[in-house]
Amino acid sequence: MTATTDGGPGGEAARGTPSARTKTSGAIPEPASGPGTGGLSGRTEELAAEAARRATGHLLARQHPDGWWKGDLETNVTMDAEDLLLRQFLGIQDETVTGAAGRWIRSQQREDGAWPTFHGGPGDLSATVEAYVALRLAGDAPEEPWMAAASAFVRERGGIARCRVFTRIWLALFGWWRWDDLPELPPELIYLPKWVPLNIYSFASWARQTIVPLTIVAAHRPVRPAPFVLDELHTDPARPNPPVPRAPLSSWDGFFQRLDRALHAYRKVSVRPLRRAAMRSAARWIIERQENDGCFGGIQPPAVYSVIALHLLGYDLDHPVLRAGLKALDEFAVWPDKDTRMIEACQSPVWDTCLATIALADAGVPADDPALVKAVDWMLGEQITKSGDWAVQRPGLPSGGWAFEFQNDTYPDIDDTAEVVLALIRVDHPEPERVKASVDRGVRWNVGMQSKNGAWGAFDADNTSAFPNRLPFCDFGEVIDPPSADVTAHVVEMLAALGLEHAPHTRRGIDWLLAEQERSGAWFGRWGVNYIYGTGSVVPALVAAGLPAAHPAIRRAVGWLESVQNEDGGWGEDLRSYSLAEWAGRGESTASQTAWALLALLAAGEREGEAVRRGVRWLAGTQNEDGSWDEPYFTGTGFPRDFSINYHLYRMVFPLTALGRYVRGEPFGGLRKGA
């Protein structure tokens, strides 16, 4: 896979460093508002129209001949480190790949020696340990200045013993950590029925796909010879894992700590035939979910652990299952240049394509334009018609959703399905009945996935058990999939666009959204950063569903957005807002977050307001000559607080959507209600 034309990872500006790419003119000075400035609105519209024209041309030029769009999906260097560790474990090291990955990892190191999990963020202990080990595999000596700085950072923060469980599992594969000092994961978990707490379907889809293969790995406890020691990453190499005080038994943490110790004891007395049968059942579960392209779940963690698990069960690397799995992992590689290699955690063609289609339609590209028709053809071909894990909770529901990736038929998601439908109904396709049948299937599936509380999660219905998050093993991010405001808003907007705003399921979704509004007037953003994303998703949905712009919830949201607008006219929010309230709505201005705020304000009837005018002019003033925007900051969310994403196409699709709606004076762009 080659790097996309957005400059690629590593080609973007660092904090405080001007981009090498030429800007149109930077921030555009404006005269003060007041008497004699009546022409300012017209000038803003001209700037917006020209920016939208350039952005439209840039986005159209990036469409694949098959009809889809895909931007790079950048996360953090743990993806690259784990890829090298996997190759080391399997004995398939490649000098070219190792060198290219090492160059990428080094390029992401902070001045203090650490590695962050998002651009401009603080150093992260686990990411730093994994990056350090990967560079040792790439041949970097501990005495090198950048390596010494990294190991000092690790020791200052407690050493390997304070890393997340996933990092220590990778280290245990090479004897750098003891398996006895990791939480126990018995493969017999596969046999728990769904009514028993902590059965595999009580976990979110992404956690479930990861945990099942890890039960096999944990049962085998493999150790490959380590090519070097890691004493420099311990505060005391002679005592690498000091005991952790136990929480009181009366607390949930204390209960689950003791449950883990009981599972460790069970390992010694487990019935071996039962354990072997459980591992075979887990293997069947994994293989049944392998996609046509060889990947498992379409995301990196389940894929790498599935490959390791099956290899431990005797599948050699030439077995068709493993050969296809390793080939699929290679497809996650992006080469920004011939000497540098970055690993994507996932790929987002369906998501990128539906958002690009919406953006182009809302910017005024004719509804029957061949580019849009081709995009619809591709999306229609991606609709999923087979059952998946979601059917455990909804066994009688016919399939009809869309997934995020090229191949992921087991795990369609509600968010993609809603946005694909919103894209499909914007386009005049030569086979309208075919499109209508597809839309009807998608809507039926999404409505059927509504949770009991009236809202929608991402992949499953009613995936809300509080128990999985309590397990000592689950310190790597979200492991359940409860409903969120942003996903619910997208479903409500979809239903309203189809004239179903008064349907009972829509009204329940609206009621839930109104109840979830924060005291500030914002909404929490689960899958995008953060309150700006949530608010930018919910306000257009509520207005589309019939709430007047004067509704108190809408006015509070408008007031909050205006209060957090940056002095330069843009909007930005740092990922630290997930943990620290003072970061809510605060951060360097970005193109995607500015667009989200504008989408909400335009829907709320604020087109002529000063906040909208300033935001539009910020977008126009920061656009590159080729019609793109630079955005090194991460505005996508995998797991709040733990895993962040820079979707490289966000900087294009959302600004174009906002500019198009502003220029055309249509708060919902090219949408034809009831289509």
- pTM here is 0.91
Q: Is pLDDT of 528 > 90?
A: yes
Q: Is pLDDT of 22 > 50?
A: no
**Judgement on whether residues 273 and 353 belong to the same structural domain of the protein:** no
If residue 468 lies in a helix (H) or strand (E), which one and from where to where? none
Q: What pLDDT is attached to residue 40?
A: 53
Q: What is the mean pLDDT of residues 136-161?
A: 96
* Range in 40-44, 436-440, 585-589 the model is least confident about: 40-44
- Determine, yes or no, domain membership for 13: no
Residue finishing a domain among 343, 364, 389: 343
Residue finishing a domain among 314, 343, 372: 343
Return contacts of 428-435, CB within 8 angstroms, 24+ apart: 428/367, 428/368, 428/373, 429/373, 429/376, 429/377, 430/373, 434/380, 435/376, 435/380
- Residue 390's domain spans which residues? 40-73+346-463+481-664
- Determine, yes or no, domain membership for 22: no
* Range in 133-137, 264-268, 389-393, 519-523 the model is least confident about: 264-268
**Judgement on whether residues 227 and 373 belong to the same structural domain of the protein:** no
The answer to whether 208 and 200 are in contact (CB under 8 A) is: yes
C-alpha to C-alpha distance for 145 and 158, rounded to whole angstroms: 20
CA 409 to chain centre: 18
**Judgement on whether residues 428 and 330 belong to the same structural domain of the protein:** no
- Determine, yes or no, domain membership for 438: yes
Provide the Cα torsion 522, 523, 525, 529; round to 10°.
Answer: 0
Residue finishing a domain among 343, 363, 389: 343
- Determine, yes or no, domain membership for 20: no
The answer to whether 3 and 335 are in contact (CB under 8 A) is: yes
Q: Is 292 left (phi over 0), alpha (psi -120 to 50) or beta?
A: alpha
The answer to whether 134 and 77 are in contact (CB under 8 A) is: yes
**Judgement on whether residues 323 and 435 belong to the same structural domain of the protein:** no
Nearest Cα to 42, choosing from 617, 642, 638?
A: 617
**Judgement on whether residues 192 and 321 belong to the same structural domain of the protein:** yes
SS3 227: coil
**Judgement on whether residues 181 and 252 belong to the same structural domain of the protein:** yes
Render pLDDT for 371-425 as a digit per residue (tens, 0 to 9).
999 999 999 999 999 999 999 999 999 999 999 999 899 999 999 999 999 999 9
The answer to whether 116 and 14 are in contact (CB under 8 A) is: no
User: Total domain count for the chain?
Assistant: 2
**Judgement on whether residues 58 and 112 belong to the same structural domain of the protein:** no
The residue written with tokens 């039926």 in the block is 444
Q: Is pLDDT of 8 > 50?
A: no
Query: Any idea which residues carry the catalytic annotation?
Result: 415
Measured distance between the N- and C-terminal CA atoms of the chain, rounded to whole angstroms: 37
The two structure tokens encoding residue 291: 């996609």
Nearest Cα to 116, choosing from 644, 517, 659?
A: 644
Nearest Cα to 587, choosing from 640, 628, 638, 529?
A: 529
Q: At 204, which CATH number?
A: 1.50.10.20
**Judgement on whether residues 537 and 444 belong to the same structural domain of the protein:** yes
The residue written with tokens 């966000």 in the block is 650
- Determine, yes or no, domain membership for 9: no
**Judgement on whether residues 53 and 133 belong to the same structural domain of the protein:** no
**Judgement on whether residues 503 and 407 belong to the same structural domain of the protein:** yes
* Range in 62-71, 244-253, 393-402, 549-558 the model is least confident about: 244-253
The residue written with tokens 């919103």 in the block is 422
C-alpha to C-alpha distance for 163 and 167, rounded to whole angstroms: 6
- Determine, yes or no, domain membership for 508: yes
* Range in 3-17, 65-79, 649-663 the model is least confident about: 3-17
Q: Report helix angle 414-424 to 432-448, nearest 10.
A: 150
Q: What pLDDT is attached to residue 27?
A: 39
Render pLDDT for 166-190 as a digit per residue (tens, 0 to 9).
999 999 999 999 999 999 999 999 9
- Determine, yes or no, domain membership for 240: no
- Determine, yes or no, domain membership for 177: yes
Q: How far is CA 603 from CA 354, 526, 541, 564, in A?
A: 20, 21, 9, 18
Render pLDDT for 544-585 as a digit per residue (tens, 0 to 9).
999 999 999 999 999 999 999 999 999 999 999 999 999 999
C-alpha to C-alpha distance for 566 and 551, rounded to whole angstroms: 25
The letter for the amino acid at 303 is: A
**Judgement on whether residues 385 and 501 belong to the same structural domain of the protein:** yes
**Judgement on whether residues 400 and 421 belong to the same structural domain of the protein:** yes
